[in-house]
């Protein structure tokens, strides 16, 4: 059994409506999330296109909608809600992937949630993004983190290396 050692988990962050134009289905703002890489284990990754390709390359899986999002944030979670999230993920593994039952799916769900919690060793409010790639044999994941500043200079603010200035 994987021990869930943190009181934090990833939460869907949507700064605008761009995820709705990228992903199908799209995650719901504020719902809990995991990386969701397991969604691609049995797929021929070379042939992915469109929304599915974007979900593979840059998506986190929302728990509830089971839609995709580009950004997540580190957030506090209580143990009861953590167990609910894990159980919901186990149910998803039964419904979407053919696990025999929830009891059989729980170890895999716990492992995925524990992996997500391992990404939460940063202050609450930190923003996390993922970049996945496939080299023809296996895929890799690179997670990037930004810590939200305590004060934002709205006249000169950078997002993803793009300089945004108020007119």
Q: Tens digits of per-residue pLDDT, 36-65?
A: 999 998 888 888 899 999 999 999 999 999
Residue 2 lies in a domain: no
Domain membership flag for residue 3: no
Tokens 């869907």 correspond to 12
- Domain membership of residue 76 (yes or no) is yes
Asked if pLDDT for residue 165 goes beyond 80, the answer is no
Q: What is the pLDDT of residues 87-125, one digit of tens each?
A: 999 999 999 999 999 999 999 999 999 999 999 999 999
In a domain, 1, yes or no: no
CA atoms of 28 and 35, how far apart (whole Å): 15
Structural domain includes residue 93 = yes
Q: What is the pLDDT of residue 164?
A: 45
> pLDDT value at position 2?
45
Residues in the chain: 167
> Domain of 115?
8-165
Q: What is the pTM of this model?
A: 0.84
Query: Does residue 104 fall inside a structural domain?
Result: yes
Task: Give the integer Cα–Cα distance in Å for 146 and 157.
Answer: 13
Beta bridge partners of 71: 13
Residue 133 has pLDDT above 70, yes or no: yes
- Find the range with the poorest average confidence among 38-42, 121-125, 144-148, 156-160: 156-160
pLDDT at 150 over 70: no
Q: Is residue 43 part of a domain?
A: yes
Using CA of residue 139, residue 110, residue 28, residue 25, what is the dihedral sign? positive
pLDDT at 151 exceeding the cut of 60: no
């Amino acid at each position: 059994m994987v021990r869930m050692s943190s009181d934090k988990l990833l939460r869907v962050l949507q700064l605008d409506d761009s995820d709705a134009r990228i992903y199908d289905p799209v995650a719901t703002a504020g719902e809990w999330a995991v990386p969701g890489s397991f969604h691609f284990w049995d797929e021929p990754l070379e042939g992915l296109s469109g929304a599915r390709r974007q979900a593979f390359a840059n998506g986190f899986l929302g728990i509830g909608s089971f839609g995709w999002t580009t950004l997540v944030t580190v957030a506090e979670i209580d143990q009861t809600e953590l167990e609910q999230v894990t159980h919901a993920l186990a149910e998803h593994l039964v419904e979407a992937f053919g696990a025999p039952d929830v009891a059989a799916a729980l170890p895999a769900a716990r492992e995925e949630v524990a992996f997500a919690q391992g990404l939460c060793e940063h202050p609450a409010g930190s923003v996390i993004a993922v970049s996945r790639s496939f080299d023809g044999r296996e895929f890799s994941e690179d997670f990037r983190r930004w810590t939200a500043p305590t004060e934002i200079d709205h006249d000169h603010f950078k997002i993803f290396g793009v300089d945004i200035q108020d007119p």
